[in-house]
Structures are given as structure tokens and as C-alpha cells.
Structure 1
Amino acid sequence: MKNKVLKIHQEDNVIVALSDLKAGEVISWDGVDYVLLENINAKHKFAMQDFQEGDLVKMYGVVIGKAVKTISKGQAITTQNVKHQTEDTLIKDSKIQWQVPEVSQWKDKTFLGYHRKDGKVGTANYWIVIPLVFCENRNILTIQKILEKELGYDTGTSYQIDVQNLIKAYQNGKSTEEILSVEVLEEKNLSKQKRIFPNVDGIKFLTHQGGCGGTRQDAEALCALLAGYINNPNVAGATVLSLGCQNAQISMLKKYLELFSPDIAKPVFFLEQQKSLSEKEFIAEAVKKTFVGLVEANKVSRQPAPLSKLVLGLECGGSDGFSGISANPTLGYASDLLVALGGTAVLAEFPELNGVERELVSRCITEASAEKFMQLMNAYNQRAKAVGSGFEMNPSPGNIKDGLITDAMKSAGAAKKGGTSPITDVLDYTEQITKSGLNLLCTPGNDVESTTALAGSGVNLIVFTTGLGTPTGNPIVPTIKMSSNTHLYKKMNDIIDFDAGTVITGEDSIESRGADLLDFIIRVASGEITPKAVQLKQDDFIPWKRGVSL
């Protein structure tokens, strides 16, 4: 490692430890010596000056907290001496200055995608089977058992757990300790079954706990989300199961489909169980219509498409103190490259933009977008405060343990995923992406609720940064996992695809690693690389109820 510490921005008054530092150690930065007054763990920060109670703490060049007690130069910044604090935002501060990155090496590059009749291009080709209400979940899973194996999509995972070894140990009278020592993990080299429909990447069976029993607004939001999934370019068509009496009616879903895609050319089949002769007849009809839909979906094959057709979702989860230094800026640079090539990037997780509103407002190309962003942020934060959980309560125990001690600090690092390009549009939950460039999408910070929303608004690829390791993905959008540190990449290599930890060690710059990431994204979009989340069937789907979720 070239450096043991890092000062991120010239206006900062804290320094980040890149490795574990010991009390009494003398750290030099820009000709100034700092004597550490206590141990500073890697990813955590120490004071560059003496702070009095009420003094503002800056990192990434923005206010990320204020001192609640005296902090001495060389002392650790912790939850005991610093609390969340942000700067006021003024719409009139808006100004756009963007240094467009050099993209000539990608100018003529294409990816192999699935072209839809509306002009969008998918990075995958899925059929989805979805319920309008939780009462249909069991039928969805029954259809899954019927179809996946027969059609060649039941590929499983790369390992099995041999429960028979445990049964034998129990039946032979083994003790608890002996049972716990039994070997059960069995590695298997599972070859793909021959697919009946080779151009269809899979059938995805979504389940959820909504559709009835909640507010009418929840039903509307669910139908809008499901319409967005059907409208997503990675989806060839859908089978929709309805019970019949629930709040989320077929007519409500059709209303949003008409709004999002008036001339939708995809096959969509609607089935209502309360109109069927029996459950078995209902399931048989769903299977037949799904099969017919797959025949149509299989007629589309991958063809070259310009990189401007990529719509990239920007996500983070299980963040650590390195996320905002390595993985997120790396993704931000790749995002800038894509935007410069005419593509689209979407930054979500509004609770994790708390504290960087001033910067984001200044990047909005219209005053209307800036005002919409602040209105959505303020309304969301007020709903959270009404139940005693404002944005400042967003950092998780894992975040705090690994150096992200305030929401503003976490947000300043999380926003780096959005790079530096102008913001062309601001979208509320389930609104569809229609403008190229960087978009802001209102979602919770919750990983799965956010990725679910990104797919519902139309992204065709997601890059998910993590510092602690998060085993999640999306059913219809390939999700690339990127680690903020090499230790995590090596430890959890079975779920992580790309390592940004070389930025921390000094082996790579943010720019060089960001360029590598864009090349990786293109290969995933073309189907040349299958991300680990897809291999492991991490098909997580959680609709957001518009109450409070951070």
C-alpha cells in the first residue's frame, strides 16, 4: 500500500485511515505531523484540528457532522463525539460545469442486446410470471416447479448440502458436537440443461406480500411497479395471476401499462382465479399461456446495439469506510463515461443523498428538476420524522462499525456513484426513465427495495457496490457486484464480480479502474459474462410501501 492515510478533499478537516494505525504513531500529510491520541482502525477518521462543541466536520468537501464535545487533533471521529449535520440547500445555487471524459476508445463499440419494438434494448430476455396479490404466491411457486425443470431453467447452484449425512449421524446416536462436525457441503459442477427456448434467458417467478389489505395507494404503487417490470426492455412478456377481489385489480395494472407504453407490443396474459373452474384448471391455463409466450419470446436473438442503449442502475449496500473512496467513485467514473457516450445512469436511494443536496441541485439542468428533487427529499424525510426515524438514522450498525458514523458522511460517499455529469431528470418511485444522461430516482436506501425500483423504472443493468458483502440481485436485471476492498473480494469471491480495492492499495487510479468497469459492463450486457448474482439466482424483489423505509 502506497499510503496509510488519505485526505479526500482540500477543504476536509478529517483524515481517513487506509490501514490500522496505532496510538502514538506520527502521521504526516502535506508537511504537517499528526500524533495519534488513540488507535484508529482502517476506514475510520481522525481529527486534523482541535474541535470545540458545535464546530462543523467536513469530508468530501461537504459538512458531514458537527462536534458534540471537544475533539483534539489526532483523536478518532466517532459516534460519541460527532453527530449528523448537513448544509442548507438553495435552488438558486444551480450551476453546471462538467468536464466530459475522453471516450474515443468506446465510440464505435457496441453490445449484443435484445431489440424491442419500442426502440429499447434489453441486456437479457426474460419471461415473468407475477401475482397481483399475495394470495397467488403459492400458485406462482407451483407453476415454477412445473416449468423450470422441464424447460431447462432449473440449473440450481454450484453447491449442494447433503442432509443425508446429518440424518445418518442422528440415527447413529451422534452427539450435537459430532453432528456439527459432519461434512455436508458438496461441490458440484452443474452443467446447464438444454433449454427448449435457447434465446430466452429464463422465466422469473416473482412473489410479494402486497396487493390487498394495505392502503389503496399501496395497491396503485404495486401495479405501477409491476407495469414497469413488464415494460422493462429485459422482459419479453408476462403472465399475470389475479385472485379477483383484491385491491390491485387487473384494470389498475392495465391503466399503468397504457400510461407507460401505449402501444405495448409484448404478449401479456391475464388470468383471474375466481373466474376459473378449479385451481388445477387455472394453473394449467397459466402454464399453457406462458408456454405460448415463450415461443414468441424465443424469436428474438441478441443483435449489436450502441452503448447509448445501456441504462445503468447505480446501487450500494453493506457499505464501509472505503466505499466512498474506491468502489463508488469508480462506478461514478464509469457512469460518466457511459453518459458521455449517450447512455443513461440512474442514482437512487434518497435517504443516502441527505447532506449532498446542494451539490446535486447545482447539477440539475432545469430548475424544475431541482425543485422536484428537493420536494421529494423533504416529503420523504418528513414522513420518516413523523414516526421518529429521520434520514439521520439511516446508517446501519455495520456501516457505523466500518467507519460511516453519520448519514451525511454515508451520503457524501454514496453520491459518488453518480459521477459528476449533469442531472437530466428527477423521477418519483415507479416513474419511467425517458431521458438519457444522469437521472435521480426516489427509492429507499434499503438494498432490495431500491434495486426493485430501479428495474421497475427501466434500467437494463445494475452495478452494486459493497464494502461488507451483500448477497442480493434482481430477477430481471443482471446485477454486477463490486467490492470496495480486495480483502472482501477474496473472502466473498463467490458473490462478487469486480474489485475496486486496487484503488485503495494504489495499484489503480479511479479513472483506470472505472474504464475497466465499463469494459466489464459491456461484456455482461452482451451475455459474455454472467454475474454471480444471476448464477446464484439472487432474484430479490421487494415492492416499497410508501410509508417509511430507510
Structure 2
Amino acid sequence: MRHQVAKIHPADNVLVALQDLPAGTPIQWDGATITTAAAIPAKHKLALQAFEPGDSVTMYGVLVGKVRQSIPLGGLLTTANIQHATNNFDQNGSHRAEWPKPDVSQWQERTFMGYHRADGRVGTSNYWLVIPLVFCENRNIQVLEEALVNDLGYARKKSYQPQTQELIALMQAGKSVEEILQADLQSAIEAHQKPKLFPNVDGVRFLSHEGGCGGIRQDAQTLCGLLAGYITHPNVAGATVLSLGCQNAQVSMLQEEIQKRSPNFDKPLFILEQQKMGTEENLVSTALRQTFVGLMQANTAQRQPAPLSKLVIGLECGGSDGFSGISANPAVGHVSDLVVGLGGTVILSEFPELCGVEQELCDRSVDAATAQRFTELMKAYGDSAKAVGSGFDMNPSPGNIRDGLITDAMKSAGAARKGGSSPVVAVLDYPELVTKPGLNLLCTPGNDVESTTAEVGSGASVVLFTTGLGTPTGNPIAPVVKISSNTALAKRMPDIIDVNTGTVIDGEETIEQAGERILDYVIRVASGEEVAAVRHGQTDFIPWKRGVSL
């Protein structure tokens, strides 16, 4: 049964509206009746007490704002009457390595069908990469993509060209502007796809980017670290790399970063330098031959059973709403705890969206050194934002605010629930590789594509991506499972949503039940079932240049 409102934590002094509540709506709460003093849209918050300027607003049991204008009992919280605020945090809190693990007995014997690599890691996919070391090679990358993907059976994008042809025919037939706008275009938009020439290779991915030269030398080092993370990734069979020759991101730098992550690296890797090879034709023709041979080698790989302890799950959110923190994120948090309980690995990133929950994460750190690294990275990130006249408080997007996330602390407290309750075993600075089973924190921006790109570069083989507003985001090599926080979104955008947890809001299942349903789906995806982003050919890849990005 769906309720009108929800209280997230016993210490909270606000309620979340689970449905639109007109002004004057009586709410039965804790043995008393609260009458809404204004219209409260679904996902927004109403006051559980009368607030005066300077009072603290608490959600998820933490400070998420300070009142700047009086709010009556039952009143609506808005950006006009509260402002972002968080508590101070101290890295010298209590640290714990033990925690009450969830019951994982029903999952203990489950396996997924993955690609076993020589370094002991197991991939959920099998891709070949074609990578430019510098943006100067992007055109050559595009030429290779045009030459390869269609004939090899990897063209996945829809074509709307037949509809354009219909529009041209309508104009030539003398139809008016109004008639053309109202025309029902009947042509199919699905592109014809040839059978895969290499059935055991999921695709060829082309990682075009705007880096590799200019900027500062640290940018080049960081980019090479990220690219090395993709090349050595268990979802990757091998790679073709195009270098111009004179750029900051030198081949030797990439090779050093590969060795850091995989000292016994044994995958096929072809590196071509245009300034040495001469003509474009020589470069592209050689790259085509080598890539084709690499694909022949990659096609010999076979999926084999692997324990769930081999899963590495990235935790991500984008286009969040006021329900994300009470349905999709805690359901993913339960998945996180289950995976950790099974000996697997999870990665929680987006440091600007951990603002306000730092003390909890410090207290959950396994030791003082781990907590110290987290606080140092958080403070350095926050200081860099302030240095350019910004700050974490500017993180919520207009869409976030419209749908109930009106301070960054409020957004962060809900976003952090993706990390469940297990101890923090390590803190990584982008683009470091994850090496420890358990919950890892990775320093990235809140920008969902930059963060997803980083999580996969650090080793995530599947990404769980929660959204309340909807986003088509995907990744070149790791399946991105799109999880809706509300049923209305799942019905409105069914082509991009994989799992709906609006069932929690609707009162149809518990957070734990939703989490178990997600994990069951993850096992199928890790075994080769396609997610919506893969079907749509959504392969977003944006490296972070370590500047200020919220």
C-alpha cells in the first residue's frame, strides 16, 4: 500500500512527500495530524516542525541545510527558505573492519559466465579497443570505425534516414508545413545489422577524446593512466593504439602505466605512430590488418563460470530526484552489501556528492590511514572548487532541484546510500586501480559520465546507475544497468531503463527485495545479457582532466 509521506531516519525533522499533496491535506503522523501549509509536490519535503531562521534541517540522520526563512509546520522546503549546510568532520573517529554482514547463503553457490583473464580477474564482456593517444588521431580513429564496425556486424545505432526521405517526399508533393509537422512517419528506424563475424567478441570500441597534448604534463600522465586502466581491464581482449608522435602523452608513458596495473601484461597490443609511418594510408591499412588479427585472437575466448566474488561493481547516479535516496540508491546499497559479503568489490565515487556524510565514511574506514586519505582528498577537492569561486553547494542541477534535491548535502546523503553499510577498505585517487575486495571510495567528479568513465578505468566490470529523471548514459566496455527510482520514469522511458525500483515507493516490495532483484539481474548481465545502453550503442567516454568539475 502506498503511503502519503515517508520519514527516512528517526532523527529527521522533515518528511518526504510520496505523492502530490495539495495545500490543506491532513497527514496522519506519529499519532497526530499535520496539515500541509502549502502544496507539496511529490519528492519534495515538508516540515515536521515549525522552523525559524538558523534552525537545522536533518535528513538521513545528518545535517542537510540551515533555515533562512521561517517555515510553518507542514510547510514546503525550498531553495528560498533553506540553504546548504553540513557538519564538520574528523578523520580521527572510530574505525571498524567488522560489520553485520547480510545473509548471502542463497547467493553463495551462484556463478556468472565470464571471461577469465591471465591476471585472475574475470570480465563480463569481451571487447577490442581502438584508442588515440592524442586528439590529433581522432579522425583516423573515425576512419577505422567506418571501415570496421558495419562489415564485422557491430553497427548498433538506429538510422532515421528513412524518415528524412519521407519528409523530402512530402515536401516535393507540395505538403504544407503544418501537414509535414503532423505527418505520421512510418519508416522503420532500426538499422540493419549484419551477423557478427566474431561471435565471441562483443564489439570494437573507439575511445576518442580531447586530451593527450596541451594543458599540463600531469593531464597527459592521468590520461595515460585512465587508458591503461581500459587496456588492462578484464572486459578487454586487446587494443590498437594510434599515436601522432610529438604529443605530451607519449607511448612510453602509456606503457609505464600499463606495467603499474598489469606487470605481466600479455594481451595483444598494437601501437602505431603516424609520424614514423608516414602516410595516412599506411597507418590506417596497418591498423586495420593488426586489429583484424587481434579480433581473430580475441574470438578464441569463451565464457566460463566464475564465483560472484569476481564481480567488481561501480556505483553511480545521474539525473537524481527526491526518490533516488529512498528507493533506487538504498536498493543498490543492499546489492553493494551482498556483493561485499560474497567477497566481491564495489566502487563508490562522485566525491562532491559525499559532502555532508564524510564523518560516517571516516567512521566506516578500516583504519586511520584510510580515513585520512579520504579527508585529504575531500578537502583538497572542496578547496579547489572554492578557489575558482564555486563549491560543492553548487552541485545540484536544475533538474535535481526541480525534483526535490534542493541542497548538495541533501543530494549527497541520498547518493551515499549506494555504498550500503560495509567498511571502507580503500580510498583511491583517480585513475588508480582497485585492488582490494570490499567497498572502495574513488575520487571523481559528480558529473555522471566522467565518474562512470573513471569507475570503469579503475576496474568496474558492471556499473549500477540509478536515475530519477532519466539518462541514456552508457560506457564503451562495461554494461551500465540503468535503475529507475520511480515507476513513472520507468513507464515514460522504457527504452533506457533496465530495472524499476519505484516499486519501493509504490509499496509493492521492500528495499531488500528490490536489491535482490537487481543482483539477480546483474548476474544475467555479467553472463552476457544486454542492457539498454548496449542495445542503443551508448558508449559515453569522458576523461576527467583533474580540474574543477562538480
Do Structure 1 and Structure 2 share a fold, with TM-score over 0.5?
Answer: yes
Corresponding residue for 1:15?
Answer: 15
- Residue-by-residue CA offset, 1:108-132 (whole Å, 9 max, x unaligned): 1110000000000000000000001
Partners of 1:175 and 1:289 lie apart in 2 by 53
Checking the alignment, whether the CA contact within 8 Å between 2:156 and 2:537 is kept in structure 1 is no
Letter in 1 for 2:113: L
Checking the alignment, whether the CA contact within 8 Å between 1:163 and 1:184 is kept in structure 2 is no
Identity level (%) = 61
Corresponding residue for 2:203?
Answer: 202
Partners of 1:220 and 1:493 lie apart in 2 by 40
Partners of 1:159 and 1:282 lie apart in 2 by 33
Corresponding residue for 2:151?
Answer: 150
SS of equivalent to 1:412: helix
Corresponding residue for 1:396?
Answer: 397
User: Shift in Å at residue 92 of structure 1?
Assistant: 2.0
Corresponding residue for 1:294?
Answer: 295
Letter in 2 for 1:39: A
Partners of 2:10 and 2:161 lie apart in 1 by 52
Letter in 2 for 1:31: G
Corresponding residue for 2:58?
Answer: 58
- Residue-by-residue CA offset, 1:317-355 (whole Å, 9 max, x unaligned): 000000000000000001100110000110010000000
User: Shift in Å at residue 179 of structure 1?
Assistant: 2.6
1:315-334 to 2 correspondences below 5 Å: 315-334=316-335
Checking the alignment, whether the CA contact within 8 Å between 2:242 and 2:272 is kept in structure 1 is yes
Partners of 1:523 and 1:188 lie apart in 2 by 28
Corresponding residue for 1:492?
Answer: 493
Partners of 1:210 and 1:182 lie apart in 2 by 44
Checking the alignment, whether the CA contact within 8 Å between 2:354 and 2:415 is kept in structure 1 is yes
Letter in 1 for 2:43: K
User: Shift in Å at residue 366 of structure 1?
Assistant: 1.4
Q: How many residues are matched? A: 549
Checking the alignment, whether the CA contact within 8 Å between 1:17 and 1:41 is kept in structure 2 is yes
Partners of 1:262 and 1:408 lie apart in 2 by 41
Corresponding residue for 2:239?
Answer: 238
1:63-78 to 2 correspondences below 5 Å: 63-78=63-78
Corresponding residue for 1:44?
Answer: 44
Deviates further, 313-322 or 188-197: 188-197
Kindly report structure 1 stretches of 4+ aligned residues shifted beyond 4 Å.
158-161, 188-192
Corresponding residue for 1:464?
Answer: 465
User: Shift in Å at residue 165 of structure 1?
Assistant: 1.2
User: Shift in Å at residue 292 of structure 1?
Assistant: 1.2
Q: What RMSD over aligned residues (CA atoms) do the two structures have, in Å?
A: 1.3
Partners of 1:80 and 1:95 lie apart in 2 by 38
Letter in 2 for 1:320: D
Corresponding residue for 1:258?
Answer: 259
Deviates further, 298-307 or 213-222: 213-222
User: Shift in Å at residue 277 of structure 1?
Assistant: 2.9
Partners of 1:198 and 1:152 lie apart in 2 by 9
Letter in 2 for 1:14: V
User: Shift in Å at residue 262 of structure 1?
Assistant: 1.2
Corresponding residue for 1:542?
Answer: 542
Corresponding residue for 1:357?
Answer: 358
Corresponding residue for 1:114?
Answer: 115
Letter in 1 for 2:513: S
Deviates further, 289-298 or 172-181: 172-181
- Residue-by-residue CA offset, 1:18-37 (whole Å, 9 max, x unaligned): 00001111111111221111
Corresponding residue for 2:214?
Answer: 213
Corresponding residue for 1:338?
Answer: 339
Partners of 1:32 and 1:128 lie apart in 2 by 61
Checking the alignment, whether the CA contact within 8 Å between 1:446 and 1:549 is kept in structure 2 is yes
Checking the alignment, whether the CA contact within 8 Å between 1:323 and 1:484 is kept in structure 2 is yes
Deviates further, 250-259 or 316-325: 250-259
User: Shift in Å at residue 451 of structure 1?
Assistant: 0.5
Checking the alignment, whether the CA contact within 8 Å between 1:486 and 1:500 is kept in structure 2 is yes
Mark the runs of 5 or more structure 1 residues left unpaired by the alignment. Answer: none
User: Shift in Å at residue 162 of structure 1?
Assistant: 1.5
Change (3 A) 1:433 1:27: same
- Residue-by-residue CA offset, 1:120-160 (whole Å, 9 max, x unaligned): 00000000000011111111011011111121112433876
Partners of 1:24 and 1:157 lie apart in 2 by 49
Checking the alignment, whether the CA contact within 8 Å between 1:159 and 1:185 is kept in structure 2 is no
User: Shift in Å at residue 255 of structure 1?
Assistant: 1.1
User: Shift in Å at residue 56 of structure 1?
Assistant: 0.7
Letter in 2 for 1:398: G
User: Shift in Å at residue 185 of structure 1?
Assistant: 5.9
SS of equivalent to 1:496: coil
Partners of 1:15 and 1:32 lie apart in 2 by 14
Letter in 2 for 1:13: N
Corresponding residue for 2:194?
Answer: 193
Checking the alignment, whether the CA contact within 8 Å between 1:151 and 1:196 is kept in structure 2 is yes
Deviates further, 338-347 or 187-196: 187-196
**Does 2:166 correspond to 1:128?**
no
